[in-house]
Structure 1
Amino acid sequence: MEFVHLLLRYLHLLGFAAVFGGWLTSWLSGKFNINAAMLYGIATQLATGIVLYGIVAADGDADHAKLGVKFLLALMLAVMIAIPWWKKRERVAAGHFWATGGLIAVTAAVAVFWT
């Protein structure tokens, strides 16, 4: 069971890398768009995060407040990424793009600094 937990955590981190890497690539290219890496990364993070929550909650040592906040932030990020992707927007507004990047940073900060 420990291997499954570690594998899910690894996939969760890869999902974060895809979201952040996709956003960073879009910023550095100057396109300000939502790309496939961001979409699949946030889908991976949501799926693995929900399963990881189930595993931790089953053990009885889950911080429900922290995990609830993380889920809410990930859900908001998923909406900010999925809607422009589904509408096939070539470019998103600068405010939307920077808010997405800020939310990515806040989500990572909550994961790292909230103990």
Structure 2
Amino acid sequence: MEALRLVLRYAHLIGFAVLLGGAVAQYVSGKIRINPPMLWGAVIQVVTGLALAAPLRGGGDKEPDPVKLAVKGVIAVLIFVMVFFSRKRPEVNRGHFLAIVGLTLANAAIATFWH
């Protein structure tokens, strides 16, 4: 069970890297739009996040804080919705794009600093 959790965590981190990396690459290109890696990263983040939030059978101290999971889940779904419904636009608003990046970074900060 621990190996599965570690693989899911690894995939979750890859989803974060793909989402943020796709956003940074798109931003420096000069044309602000949603690219396929951003969509894939958002999907990976939501799917692996849901799998990681599933209660562990062993119980103990490894159970994550439900409030933290709810906050991270809401942010992840919000990011996914913002990416999904903007993916076909030739160009998106700069504020909308930066909000996606900011929420992505905020979600990583919550995962890191909220104990």
Could you state the TM-score of these two structures normalised by the residue count of structure 1? 0.92
What is the correspondence of 1:26-65 to structure 2 with a 5 Å cutoff?
A: 26-56=26-56, 59=59, 61-65=63-67
The equivalences for 1:1-115 within 5 A come to: 1-56=1-56, 59=59, 61-85=63-87, 88-115=88-115
SS in 2 for 1:62: coil
Unaligned 5+ segments in structure 2 are none
How many residue pairs end up in the alignment?
113
The alignment yields a C-alpha RMSD, in angstroms, of: 1.4
Deviates more, 1:20-29 or 1:50-59: 50-59
Tell me which protein shows more helix as a share of its residues. 1
Equivalent pairs: percent with the same residue? 42
Partners of 2:86 and 2:58 in 1: CA distance = 36
**1:45 aligned partner, one-letter code:** Q
Q: Structure 1: which 5+ residue stretches go unaligned?
A: none
The one-letter amino acid of 1:66's match is: K
Tell me the TM-score normalised to structure 2 length. 0.92
